[in-house]
Homo-oligomer: A and B are copies of this chain.
Amino acid sequence: MQSYTEENYLKTIYHLAEKTTNVQTNAIAEQMQTKPASVTDMIKKLAEKGLIDYVKYQGVTLTETGKNTAIDIVRKHRLWEVFLVDKLNFKWDEVHDVAEELEHIKSVELIERLDEFLGFPRTDPHGDPIPDKNRRFAKTQFIKLIELKTGESGTITGVSQHSSPFLKHLEKLGLTLGKQIQVSDVTDFDGSVEIRISDKQVNISREVAKHILISSNGKN
């Protein structure tokens, strides 16, 4: 049985491992909003418990058990987010903090029934995949909007940034999940992207385009 804090460390390590192979102390500290010294203390404990492999000064990797625990928390986080949006009518930019708390509720029965109640969703309100109870993720194939060339089109199926201001911005522009878009132009000057969406034209910055995930359906 892990504490709330241990679970958060495992989840953080899991997410960092999706980006970099070798997860470093400082990266964990930044993500957890704590100090490197505290991270060292905690990773010693997690290693002691067999949840991570740790060699001094060499960063950490999750063991099988550690990874399973992390995936379970990710599953809970995302299922609760679906609940909040689908059932309680929260906006997609309002759910993260509450889900951070709900993900730690310990009851296998609860999460299985919640999953069923929600109709076994496979993605959360931000397009992130929800592992099933056997911890299997549905394969997803995203490309970043910024990578689309002029004329190419696709469907918005995710975001790689979950901050409230970013999500609100997208909402205002009508760039929500499931929307069909086509790149009509890429500005030479600043690299901003001109998009056609439901017969409107919107212009988004490179920075925004980097964080919108598209399931491509080729040229058009």
Interface segment among A45-53, A110-118, A150-158: the answer is A110-118
Residue contacts A-B, CB under 8 angstroms, 16 given: A84-B110, A87-B117, A88-B110, A88-B113, A88-B114, A88-B117, A89-B113, A94-B109, A97-B107, A98-B105, A98-B107, A98-B110, A101-B105, A101-B106, A101-B107, A102-B105
Asked if A90 is an interface residue, CB under 8 A from chain B, the answer is yes
CB interface residues, A 60-117, toward B, < 8 Å: 84, 87-90, 94, 97-98, 101-102, 105-107, 109-110, 113-114, 117
- The interface size of chain A toward B, counting residues with CB under 8 Å, comes to 18
The 9 tightest CB contacts between A and B, nearest first, are A88-B113, A98-B107, A101-B105, A98-B110, A88-B117, A87-B117, A102-B105, A88-B114, A89-B113
Which chain B residues border A107 with CB–CB below 8 Å?
A: 97-98, 101
Q: How far is the CA of A89 from the CA of B115 in the complex (A)?
A: 13
Q: How far is the CA of A102 from the CA of B113 in the complex (A)?
A: 15
Which chain B residues border A109 with CB–CB below 8 Å?
A: 90, 94
In the assembled complex, the CB of A109 is this many whole angstroms from the nearest CB of chain B, namely: 8
Using CB atoms, name the residue of chain B closest to A95.
B110
Q: A88-B113, A89-B113, A101-B106 are in contact. List 12 more A-B contacts (CB 8 A).
A: A84-B110, A88-B110, A88-B114, A88-B117, A90-B109, A94-B109, A98-B105, A98-B107, A98-B110, A101-B105, A101-B107, A102-B105
